[in-house]
Structure 1
């Protein structure tokens, strides 16, 4: 019976990155243009748009991920000149929360996967 629980947990851990990628793709497809228009004066957003424009859907996800990472450390990003302070202040709070939560969920998922495989290797 314990093996069945381990198999079910393993399947969930293996499937979860694909589900997370689906969420990233959906949010990038739906919100990226709006986010980039709000953060139009931010240097890093403009540079990332120029670099990843021709990368298709994966480029959109990369641009969204970098914006999410910068917004999760917005004071640092503003201080280093990556984001414009006025742009960050005019970004809607619900959109900021969505991006920061998406970034935090991704970090949590990666940590969970690493801990799971460490547990399987050394503790299970």
Structure 2
């Protein structure tokens, strides 16, 4: 399955690393899990509280895959400009265990066999 990513600065990684453990963050992640687990094998395009992002599971569950770690077995792809100043999200993300990529023009994000390919920017194998 594929989705188009527009120009922007994207976070790719475990949602738990980006989302703050406060009431707003907990509410957001509970909504995320409720939607995601309706079909955890799908490459989702989700919108929660007007924030659009993409979510996929790893084939290998928890682990470290091509420089990206997860202890939820899930990666999200989120344009960080959407969450600037948002109380539920960390603002100064350090690229450690996640990836921050600057997409210069629209590109395709594809998940095939639980492997992520953001065309021209990033490939992650999750076996």
Q: TM-score normalised by the shorter chain: which range applies? A: 0.3 to 0.5
Looking at secondary structure, tell me which structure has more strand per residue: 2
Greater relative contact order (Cα < 8 A, sep 6+): 2
Give the structure-2-normalised TM-score.
0.35
Looking at secondary structure, tell me which structure has more helix per residue: 1
State which structure, 1 or 2, has the greater radius of gyration over its C-alpha atoms: 1
Give the structure-1-normalised TM-score.
0.35
